[in-house]
Amino acid sequence: MIPFLSWFTGPTPVMNQPQKLFMACGDERREGYLHVDAFASSNPDIVHAIEQTPWPFESDRFSEIVINHLSRVGKELYQQKSILGELFRVSASDATVVLNLPWIRHDSFWADPTNVRPYCPETLQLLSSQYCESLREQGTTHTSLAGLFGINFELISIVQTYDPIWWRKLQAGEISRDQLREAASLHWGVVRTWTATLRAVKA
């Protein structure tokens, strides 16, 4: 089986279709979502790979989008631009976008050779036009991914999932939450995965 072919060659009808999208869903299911995955063995609603652009959906369609495994696609900059451009295109104004990602300072990221595109919170901040403009005004050297890709996402929040070793330290009272957060910013292997929530900003 070739996993990177879509069952759909054009946009699917909007009428009576979910307005929530779950890309790279695998076997996970969420009520009210349109489930999309590259592999037919996962039995998604649509077989379509994240990196296969354009996506078979209308512009401005989805109010909520969840994406798994974004770190496994977009190794080259032009590929990342195409993928994030499609994400922005199909997002409705003020859409909520949730990205589930591995933490780049954990062995599990580097142990998996399918991880080809690292993301950190600072990367996602560069998807915001307003944030990049603030850096420009400060004279800070940066790459405006928002301008380069023609997109605009505001980073709303991040939630970190800690490595079990560090989580047990917290549960045992060996460290406080503040100490755990500090360790996460300073040391390798503290955070294992993280979830970022973005908002699509459209005029």
Task: DSSP letter for 27, please.
Answer: T
pTM: 0.88
20-162+191-200: CATH topology is Rossmann fold (3.40.50)
* Res 199 pLDDT > 60: yes
**What pLDDT, in 10s, does the model give residues 166-194?**
999 999 999 999 999 999 999 999 999 99
Q: Is 1 helix (H, G, I), strand (E, B) or coil?
A: coil
Position 141 scores a pLDDT of 83
Residues 6 or more apart whose CB falls under 8 angstroms from that of 153 comprise 88, 97, 124, 127, 128, 146, 198, 199, 200, 201
Segments making up each domain of the chain, as ranges: 20-162+191-200
CA distances, 177 to each of 35, 173, 180, 190, 193 (Å): 36, 9, 5, 12, 17
One-letter identity of residue 98: V
Give the mean model confidence (pLDDT) for residues 77-100: 97
* Res 13 pLDDT > 90: no
